[in-house]
Amino acid sequence: MQADATRFGTIFKTLKSASGSVALFLAIPALLYIFNASESFATISAGVAVFLFGMRFMEAGFQAFTGGMLENILKACTTGRIRSLLFGVVSTTIMQSSSLVSVITISFLSAGLINLAAGIGIVFGANLGTTTGAWLIAAFGLKVKISAYAMPMLALGIILVFLPGKKAKGAGDILAGLGFIFLGIAFMKDGFDAFSQGFDLTQIQVEGLQGILLFVLFGALATVIMQSSHATLVLILTALAAGQIDFQAAIALSIGANVGTTITAIIGALSANIQGKRLAVAHLFFNVVTGTIIIATIEPTLVVVETLSDFLGFSDTDATLKLALFHTLFNSLGVLLLTPLIPAMIPYLKRLMPVPRTPGLQPMYLTAATEAFPETLNTAMVQELARLYDNAIEIMAHGLHFHRRILFSHTLLHDAIKTSNDLITIDLDDQYAQRVESLSSAILETITRNVTRHGGDLEHLRAYQAACRSIVTCVKETKHLRPNLTQYIHHKNPYIRDKYNHLRVSIGDTIRAIDIIRNEPETTRETLGLEAIRVKFMQDDASASGELEAMIRDGKITARMGMSLLNDLRYTQSIIWALIDIARILFGETEEHHTDAERMLNLNEDDLSRLARGKS
Amino acid sequence: MKTRKIIDLLDSLLGGERTKRSRRELAVEELLHKLEKKENKLLERLEHIDTDDEDEKRHLEIKLQVNRAHQDKARQAISSWSGTKPEAETETEAQ
């Protein structure tokens, strides 16, 4: 069944990529023909392309600042619905990209740093935040020759990009991105000016509700194609300024742009976890509900916009400012109506999209045949547990923000994280359910079944049971450790940052040491040396040495940070201790008298403490 | 390894007369041998380590301390078996 599903998935993916290639193959000659036929269309398209290019630059630039500052702000600003909403408004206003804010929100939701209610609040706020872009473009972008600003921005941005340092490069990307966005707007404006002289879009307008729905569809399609509601909004504003469309059509197009951006988010959420999908649906719900209300009340809405425009002193001919006003009213209405409903939406979304119940990883080596004899059972059990361990290590590595190529490289981890220290998005709950829970349950079930059958081998089976439980513990403790780790490994406070990086490096070093032992020939392999990791950890333990208290007393870290660190030290210790136990059972000696011998030489807690105190 | 296998083979040919205790004793001796080899390697690495790399030096020193603690335990066990306790008694204990 599972194999069929995988095969079907592969065929579907191949067909999807093939159809994409065919569409691209057909679209390129068609576009080339249109570019040749209409110079103004080519200019508009170039404007859209440069605008999107600028957006990509800006997104890349902001990502350079996502390693700490943004995360800390996010965590502090999302306690409560109103705060989340305001955060969405402010961050989108600053970044001028609701897509980037949505993507970051989805990644933090997946990381468990924020809850779904906060995520929905941010996305609703982001909708409101995009309206500031409309105001800026309507007020300045189409009246001032903004291409004049674009050039110095581009020049300065590119200089910064070539400077050393991640932050300087990020700032350069943002500045160059803004430059490209301004340049794109200028191109689009020129294109529409030329276009308006030869062709009149108003001629193809359809009257009534049908016409409105047609433009809503156009707006949504344009946004899906351009992957940016901002770009669509600029197109609408420029077309409106050039007199290519009337105000009602512009309103319908802007509603469509809002709906279209949710489709982009839904496509984006297809690869996200269930929380990301729920967020995308909440986003769609916001725009569809608000859009439907506006379409149903289009006449009174136009009256409200006209009245408010008069009140604000907009001239009758200034349709672009009126559209910016409408866009703000549209999104404000959505926020006012739907924000109080967020708590009610969450259970509904959870019912609508429950956590998928997938069969998860199943045993590969433990079969009825291998269970028949104690010897084959032991071999299969070790192989199955090693498989479970490998899955757990992969989840843990990503949970601790380590890429496996770094974790298993020959570079010292402390040095490696200085060059590759980006945050990794992973849904630990989902990964645990998929790759650990079902397999570990099956292993434990097999052990329980065989304890009575192969009573003579009880000792081995008990050891495997302990190893299995320790693997589960490692993944669970990593889940507990991850939120604070994510928050602090890029924190501006160097003391807490170092401590948290030290915690994950300690776990990473243990995983590495085990991997080395695992690959050693049996003649030289011994797991007793792993005790050195325990001794080193005990020596470094800031809580035991009083270092933690001193750090709080000296104001180097806050009491809250100290409390988090104290808890996380215990989680880290538990993970390291469990990893060593697992290594001994799975990768140490297998013959009974050898395991007995190793057990005899084991260092007990007193021995370990004595060695740890022997620090010079 | 080879020695161990030959001894195990001989033992089975002779009807498995060797005791569990002596097997374990052999295993401890073998482990001690591995630990001694590892100690030499650690000492060699310590000799050639960059003097500025304090962290690595400390790490190796801890490894050495732990290695020696294990060796002490192994020697204590071997001397206790070879010295005072009669084989039959220990055999009973082990069983």
CA distance A360 to B33: 45
Report the Cα–Cα distance between both ends of chain A, in Å, rounded. Answer: 61
* Interface contact A531-B66, CB threshold 8 A: yes
Could you tell me the two tokens for B81?
A: 């078996």
Q: Does B66 touch chain A (CB under 8 A)?
A: yes
Please classify residue A125 by burial: count the beta carbons closer than 10 Å to its beta carbon, then call 0-12 exposed, 13-18 middle and 19+ buried. buried
Closest-CA distance of chain B to residue A543, Å: 20
CA distance A510 to A575: 9
Q: Does B68 touch chain A (CB under 8 A)?
A: no
CA distance A172 to A167: 8
Categorize the per-residue pLDDT at A18 as very low, low, confident or very high, splitting at 50, 70 and 90: low
Chain B interface mutation, best of A415, A517, A526, A607, highest count of B Cβ atoms under 10 Å: A526
Categorize the per-residue pLDDT at A557 as very low, low, confident or very high, splitting at 50, 70 and 90: very high
Q: Does A270 touch chain B (CB under 8 A)?
A: no
Question: Do A337 and A127 form a contact (C-beta atoms < 8 A)?
Answer: no
Handedness of CA A88, A93, A98, A101 (dihedral sign): negative
Q: A31 pLDDT exceeds 90?
A: no
* Interface contact B73-A601, CB threshold 8 A: yes
Among candidates A536, A593, A601 on the partner chain, residue whose Cβ is nearest the Cβ of B70: A601
Higher-pLDDT residue of A530 and A321 is: A530
Among candidates A594, A600, A614 on the partner chain, residue whose Cβ is nearest the Cβ of B77: A600
Higher-pLDDT residue of A295 and A73 is: A295
Q: A272 pLDDT exceeds 80?
A: no
Could you tell me the two tokens for A270?
A: 């297809």
Closest-CA distance of chain A to residue B15, Å: 18
Q: Does A421 touch chain B (CB under 8 A)?
A: no
Task: Please write the tens of the pLDDT for every residue from A343-382.
Answer: 888 888 888 887 766 667 888 888 887 787 777 888 889 9
Closest-CA distance of chain B to residue A614, Å: 9
pLDDT at B87: 41
Categorize the per-residue pLDDT at A141 as very low, low, confident or very high, splitting at 50, 70 and 90: low
Could you tell me the two tokens for A104?
A: 């970051």
Could you tell me the two tokens for A417?
A: 């994280």
11-30 in chain B: CB under 8 A from chain A: 20, 23-24, 26-28, 30
Residue (of A506, A500, A499, A489) closest to A574 by Cα position: A506
CA distance B66 to B20: 27
Closest-CA distance of chain A to residue B73, Å: 6
Q: Does B73 touch chain A (CB under 8 A)?
A: yes
List the single residue in A with minimal CA-CA distance to B65.
A611
Q: Does B6 touch chain A (CB under 8 A)?
A: no
CA distance A359 to A485: 30
Handedness of CA A376, A379, A382, A388 (dihedral sign): negative
Could you tell me the two tokens for B37?
A: 């080899």
**Which residues lie below 8 Å from residue B57, measured CB to CB, with a gap of 6+?**
B46, B49, B51
CA distance A487 to A111: 11
Among candidates B26, B31, B62 on the partner chain, residue whose Cβ is nearest the Cβ of A526: B31
Question: Do A426 and A398 form a contact (C-beta atoms < 8 A)?
Answer: yes
Share of chain B above pLDDT 70, in %: 64
Lowest-pLDDT choice from A99-103, A482-486, B36-40, B41-45: A99-103
* Interface contact B27-A593, CB threshold 8 A: yes
Q: Which residues of A328-345 are buried (b: 16+ CB within 10 A; e: fewer)?
A: bbbbebbbeebbeebeeb
Q: A202 pLDDT exceeds 80?
A: no
pLDDT at A97: 67
CA distance A495 to A315: 58
Closest-CA distance of chain A to residue B68, Å: 10
Q: How many C-alpha atoms does A245 have within 13 Å on its Cβ side?
A: 25
* Interface contact A597-B28, CB threshold 8 A: yes
Categorize the per-residue pLDDT at A8 as very low, low, confident or very high, splitting at 50, 70 and 90: very low
Residues of chain B neighbouring A594 (CB-CB closer than 8 A): 27, 30-31
Residues of chain B neighbouring A512 (CB-CB closer than 8 A): none
Q: Does A522 touch chain B (CB under 8 A)?
A: yes
ipTM summary value: 0.72
Q: Which residue has the tokens 């200034």?
A: A318
pLDDT at A535: 92
DSSP 3-state assignment of A6?
helix
Q: Which residue has the tokens 């304890």?
A: A451
